[in-house]
Structure 1
Amino acid sequence: MESNFTIGIIGGYGKMGTFFKNFFEKKGYPVVLSGRNKGLEKIELVKQSKVILISVPIKVFPEIVKEISSYIEDHHWVIDICSLKAEPVKVMKDFIKKGEVLATHPLFGPYEKDLKGKIIAIWRIKGDNLYKWFKSIMEEEKLNIIEISPEKHDQIMGLVQVLNHFWLILLAKIINDSGLDLKDIVSLTTTSFFKQLDVLRRLSYQDARLYARIQLDNPYGKKFRDLLCKNCLEFNKALNLPEEEREKKFEEYFTLAKNIASELEKLIQTY
């Protein structure tokens, strides 16, 4: 480790900022923080740090990058952890002219105690040393590292994040509107539905503002929400056909689902 290998986290008092502060300190790195009305001023943090990790809402990300960009020198390494990648990558390419730059998206939350098997997406923007260092410390934790272009990442997140969260919020609304007692639902649930309820339960720890940004900022989000609504209407319409027709239609839908499930069975076994 270099003698001056301080890691500076802009947004270091937020949930993910705190997570990475603890993560890097456990690995023996000195960490300094900048936050809203807390810690170091952003420019002072840049001057004191080798690695600059930007952990801020995507809405303010461009102005943060612009503010610090003229203070980034050749020895600096800059990392972002935004949940979308195309626009943040464009911003960093446009404004950060020196140093090395790496785009990342940790696909886990700030409450994880064990990172083994968790996923982090990365995309090298500039430089080899930062890329190798970051990849090696992620591999030490046995994370699955996925190298993916920003555009493809955002398309997949339209399904993996936007549609998933959309469905979970709808599930909660349906439970609320059903008139059924939540205790009765939990007491009589199947194993598979209990797993869905367990995922829904985790929303109680999440930040509504973050989830709103994931839902509203992804340019592919509307496509997947519309696709869900379209398929719900079509499937429901099929199930209201005369008896013989609706049974045939149900079998068509179920066969498609089984084919996807079979492919998933093969894929998931490799992870």
Structure 2
Amino acid sequence: MVLEQKLAALRSQIDACDTELVAILAKRNKITAQVGQIKRDSGKPVYIPEREIELLAARRAQAQAQGVSGDLVEDILRRMMRESYQNQQSELACVSPELSPAVIIGGKGVMGQLFAKQLRRSGIEVRILDKEQNDSQDEVLSGAKLVLVSVPINKVEAIIENLPKLDDDCLLVDITSVKEKPVTAMLNSHKGPVLGLHPMFGPDIAHWVKQTIVVCRGRGDLKADMLLAQLKIWGTQLVEMDTKKHDEAMQIVQVMRHLTTFVYGQFLAKQTHSLREIKSCSSPIYQLELMMVGRLFAQSPGLYSDIMLAQFDNVESLLEDYQDIYEQTLIKLKNGDKAGLIEGFSDAKSYFSDSAESFLKQSRALLNKANDSKVLD
């Protein structure tokens, strides 16, 4: 009974600490909202890497001096920062008013809505051109300084080719996951500035900070730079590539990855074990892999089919290489060829050598979070 009373007293103290923590978080949120307002008024970006690095280093040092895990404090701070970045998105600085008015073709789609919302937060007038507005296309596009094409990948070239004449100072942009053909179509259809963008994220992001956008320049760097400057204000990471290099990279980064996940998901669906049974005996790393497989099948089948089909001709040889490596590995397993398996492991390990330790650390943090989020029956 005495031990129970001591335990209850200690738990009461923990509850008091947690209550204080919640109050401090609420106070911090109010302060970060004020920071966001100042950034907007002064034209500063939401994300300032130097400030984040400095803050994390200082708090880690303070934690270690007080006998608290630096990793724990950094985890908490990064989660709070994510909330702060989200809080600072409601109103954003406009550093490129020359982009107004903007027209988003396909603006009722999920990615179109995402860009429309962000542009409006930056004080840029946005008009939507979707199926319902086809009859008034010329009126909607009249005077536009930015036209952003956000339509399914299998329709983008036809949409671009059928655009009416745009003003010569209008920036024409597409945001599809292939770039060579759309950028070529834009250059052929429009005499003014052209830019290809590929957002490496979906519509369910909490904020734009640290989100990657691949940039493929077409024509008119001055006007393109205006949009890129606005994207930097939102906190995005911009990676510039030529269109051919981009599409080759996406064959590996997207198409091959989606195909592998697609096949593995179908394989799981044909097994006798239920997903619940598989999950119940899974390690954190496999739980994470299951999440990524499940994530694909929670989204649009049409979208992922289009992504895979759009570049199939280009990835056919990659798929043959993949199949060959798979078959070679299977032969080694059947023959009990441990030396051959180790050789294959070593070949792959050399590819990852420069990033292996970083990947190990990052994945460990993800695995801990995956384990923390488990709900025990």
TM-score by length of 1: 0.90
The answer as to 2:144 corresponding to 1:49 is yes
1:115-154 correspondence to structure 2 within 5 Å:
115-154=208-247
* Whole-Å separation in 2 of the counterparts to 1:53 and 1:205: 27
**Preserved contact between residue 120 and residue 143 of structure 1 (Cα < 8 Å):** yes
The residue number in structure 2 matching 1:87 is 181
1:143-182 correspondence to structure 2 within 5 Å:
143-182=236-275
- Higher deviation after alignment, 172-181 or 209-218: 172-181
The residue number in structure 2 matching 1:17 is 112
Give the residue type in structure 2 aligned to 1:50.
K
- Which one of the candidate residues 100, 103, 108 is aligned to 2:196? 103
- Higher deviation after alignment, 217-226 or 83-92: 217-226
* Whole-Å separation in 2 of the counterparts to 1:184 and 1:210: 30
Give 5+ residue unaligned stretches, structure 2: 1-95, 363-377
* Whole-Å separation in 1 of the counterparts to 2:148 and 2:113: 12
- Which one of the candidate residues 275, 288, 291 is aligned to 1:198? 291
How many Å apart are 1:166 and its aligned residue? 0.7
**Preserved contact between residue 6 and residue 31 of structure 1 (Cα < 8 Å):** yes
* Whole-Å separation in 1 of the counterparts to 2:98 and 2:341: 65
* Whole-Å separation in 2 of the counterparts to 1:208 and 1:263: 36
How many Å apart are 1:57 and its aligned residue? 1.7
**Preserved contact between residue 153 and residue 307 of structure 2 (Cα < 8 Å):** no
SS state at 1:146 partner: strand
Give CA deviations for 1:87-106 in whole Å, capped at 9, x if unaligned: 11111122212x21111111
How many Å apart are 1:201 and its aligned residue? 2.1
TM-score by length of 2: 0.66
The 3 A distance-change label for structure 1 pair 4 and 26 is: closer
The residue number in structure 2 matching 1:247 is 338
* Whole-Å separation in 2 of the counterparts to 1:266 and 1:222: 33
How many Å apart are 1:3 and its aligned residue? 7.7
How many Å apart are 1:51 and its aligned residue? 0.7
How many Å apart are 1:168 and its aligned residue? 0.8
* Whole-Å separation in 1 of the counterparts to 2:260 and 2:99: 47
- Which one of the candidate residues 261, 264, 269 is aligned to 2:355? 264
**Preserved contact between residue 46 and residue 71 of structure 1 (Cα < 8 Å):** no
* Whole-Å separation in 1 of the counterparts to 2:137 and 2:324: 46
Give CA deviations for 1:103-151 in whole Å, capped at 9, x if unaligned: 1111111111122222111122111232211211221222221110111
How many Å apart are 1:75 and its aligned residue? 2.1
Runs of 4+ in 1 over 4 A off after TM superposition: 1-4, 266-269
Q: CA RMSD in A?
A: 2.1
Give the residue type in structure 1 aligned to 2:223.
L
- Which one of the candidate residues 160, 167, 191 is aligned to 1:65? 160
* Whole-Å separation in 1 of the counterparts to 2:353 and 2:258: 24
* Whole-Å separation in 1 of the counterparts to 2:126 and 2:258: 33
**Preserved contact between residue 154 and residue 220 of structure 1 (Cα < 8 Å):** no
- Higher deviation after alignment, 102-111 or 126-135: 126-135
Sequence identity (%): 25
Give 5+ residue unaligned stretches, structure 1: none
* Whole-Å separation in 2 of the counterparts to 1:188 and 1:155: 38
- Which one of the candidate residues 132, 136, 153 is aligned to 1:37? 132
The 3 A distance-change label for structure 1 pair 205 and 177 is: closer
* Whole-Å separation in 1 of the counterparts to 2:168 and 2:251: 35
SS state at 1:114 partner: coil
The residue number in structure 2 matching 1:222 is 316
The 3 A distance-change label for structure 1 pair 46 and 63 is: same
How many Å apart are 1:206 and its aligned residue? 1.8
Give CA deviations for 1:74-96 in whole Å, capped at 9, x if unaligned: 22111111110111111112221
Aligned length: 265
